[in-house]
Amino acid sequence: MSNIYLYTNDIELGTKLTDRLLHLDHSIKFLDSLAALADKNSLVLVDLDALEVTPDAIQTLKLKYPDTRLIGFMTQIHKNLRDDYRQSGCEMVYLRSALINNPDSILLEDDRK
């Protein structure tokens, strides 16, 4: 599996995901900003509720690192926003609760692609 990075401002979410992923023998690295990503072969989990994350920011990241896998998550999915993020480069957009409760199935699904 490639490196897993997480971009979120939610410390509690980061802690929960880290605990669950360590249980599954995966490690997670936190990003202070999307611009801090320097690994072109990685999986990035992006909190789409963060104010600084926009479809344009996702598109810029995807253009800079085309091999990077971007998985977005939101507290509540709004169809128009989900579609904008998917068109910008997010492979999938999940509910935050689904990511917290089932990171293993999401990562296993990601590995099969």
At residue 108, the pLDDT reads 58
Average pLDDT over the chain, rounded to an integer? 85
Tell whether the model's pLDDT for residue 112 goes beyond 50: no
Q: Which of 13, 11, 27 is nearest to 96 (CA)?
A: 13
2-16, 51-65, 71-85: which range is least confident on average? 2-16
From the CA atom positions of the chain, what is the Rg in Å? 13
Per the structure, the complete domain to which residue 99 belongs is given by: 3-112
CA distance 75 to 87: 19
- Please state whether 53 falls in left (phi above 0), alpha (psi between -120 and 50) or beta: beta
The domain spanning residue 24 has which CATH number? 3.40.50.2300
Tell whether the model's pLDDT for residue 81 goes beyond 60: yes
Confidence of residue 85 (pLDDT cuts 50, 70, 90): very high
Which secondary-structure segment (H or E) carries 58? helix 55-64
Instruction: Quote the number of domains for the chain.
Output: 1
CA distance 100 to 102: 6
Strands 69-74 and 92-95: parallel
Which secondary-structure segment (H or E) carries 42? strand 42-47
* Mean per-residue pLDDT, 25-33: 81
